Amino acid sequence: MARPHTAPPQTPALGVGMVGYAFMGAAHSQAWRTAPHAFDLPLRPVLTVLCGRDRAATEAAAQRYGFGGVETDWRALLERDDVQLIDVCTPGDSHAEISIAALEAGKHVLCEKPLANTVAEAEAMAAAAARAQALGVRSMVGFNYRRVPALALARELIASGRVGEIRHVRASYLQDWLADPAFPLTWRLQKEHAGSGALGDLGAHVVDLAHYLTGQLISGVSGVAATFVPERPLPGGSGPGTTGAATGRVTVDDAVAFTARLESGALATFEATRFASGRKNALRIEVYGAHGSLTFDLERLNELEFCDNTDSAGSTGPATAGFRRILVTEPGHPYLSAWWPPGHVLGWEHTFTHQVRDLVLAIDKGADPEPSFATGLQVQRVLQAVSASAAQDGRWTRV
């Protein structure tokens, strides 16, 4: 059984300044607290300061999350000697400004996905990251699903040739939290804040996973998009199941679907929606190759299904050939040596803990963590191509 670790007091501190304290702020905070207790880390994360515009709300969140202090202007974090890393958990419209300023101030940066709202912003962020890298300052974009042990194992199997030449990828990310038309207008439904809707919020994840698992980039796309509820109640008294008098316009997509080709010519299909009633967080990705197949379902996070075509005519015979279930909880599986005995499953929050672990190790080694801002830019280019294609009735668009 894995023994929890606690970094000794003499371990050098890594002061964390976090900007934003909502959903992702909570997930990231737990990860920063947990990582040094699960893994032997060469640096000791310290929750130094939490930043938000509303001081009272920020102070309440800081107390819950365990931060030592608060600021109401993110620029103040750049001046603090007790902050070595800025964790950006804000809406996408501020990612570029905060991240670039932090890197130029010599602070390491972890930025939530998608990297930015536009390709131009993402390009500026990647360029700032490259300049900072030359000075030993590191940056990473938070695609946490890369840190699911089953998906990390899938990448290892694909890289080792177990599925052979990739022929087809299928990926979908389905949620239902917008299915009620009375759900209020939030920043995620406004293009000026979110950049896009389901495409950036959910589609970015499956695009990144396709890149990560196959080791190939998407080279072209053909997409369609839809906004099913164009007007929603304004916040403040309105909520799910109620109707408000004042409404605002939804300026992002509610759902997208697109076909794609990988660099090798392999085919891929993607779907992302926040209108799939009954689907709460249904991310699924399938990779089909010449020698076998792999499938993963986030709602069965500790499992990976693997079909080995090369064994179909072997001892089992074609009558019983097919997918086999791998319970990814063995100590030799990615990340699992730090946790519980085999069969004692992990959860969604562990992906953020693994993300912290990988980032801290890279900073200590002077290595470039992945996914980098350059990697995030590659995803952003795909998202832009999908948007451009959808605006032209699905016209094939190069990435």
Q: How confident is the model at residue 315 (pLDDT cuts 50, 70, 90)?
A: low
Return the closest-CA partner of residue 260 out of 158, 169, 374: 169
Tens digit of pLDDT for each residue in 237-286?
544 444 446 999 999 999 999 999 999 999 999 999 999 999 999 999 99
Within a domain: residue 8?
no
Domain boundary pick from 124, 145, 166: 145
Looking at the structure, tell me whether residues 52 and 118 fall in a common domain. Answer: yes
Cα separation, 348 vs 299, whole angstroms:
9
284-299 b/e (C-beta count within 10 Å ≥ 16 → b): bbbbbbeebbbbbebe
Looking at the structure, tell me whether residues 205 and 308 fall in a common domain. Answer: yes
Looking at the structure, tell me whether residues 203 and 218 fall in a common domain. Answer: yes
Mean pLDDT confidence for 48-58: 97
Q: Give the per-residue pLDDT at 233.
A: 96
Q: Which residues lie across from 139 on neighbouring strands?
A: 109
Tens digit of pLDDT for each residue in 186-239?
999 999 999 999 999 999 999 999 999 999 999 999 999 999 999 999 997 544
Return the closest-CA partner of residue 107 out of 44, 16, 25, 35: 16
User: How many domains does the structure of the chain reveal?
Assistant: 2
CATH number at residue 201: 3.30.360.10
Looking at the structure, tell me whether residues 92 and 141 fall in a common domain. Answer: yes
Within a domain: residue 6?
no
CATH number at residue 17: 3.40.50.720
Looking at the structure, tell me whether residues 139 and 153 fall in a common domain. Answer: no
Q: Give the per-residue pLDDT at 3.
A: 46
3-state class of 48 per DSSP? strand
Within a domain: residue 2?
no
Looking at the structure, tell me whether residues 238 and 250 fall in a common domain. Answer: yes
Domain boundary pick from 145, 160, 175: 145
Within a domain: residue 280?
yes
3-state class of 354 per DSSP? helix
Cα separation, 237 vs 239, whole angstroms:
7
Within a domain: residue 200?
yes
Range of the domain at 273: 148-369+378-398
Domain boundary pick from 145, 168, 203: 145
Q: Give the per-residue pLDDT at 87.
A: 98
Looking at the structure, tell me whether residues 287 and 352 fall in a common domain. Answer: yes
Check whether 132 has a pLDDT greater than 60: yes
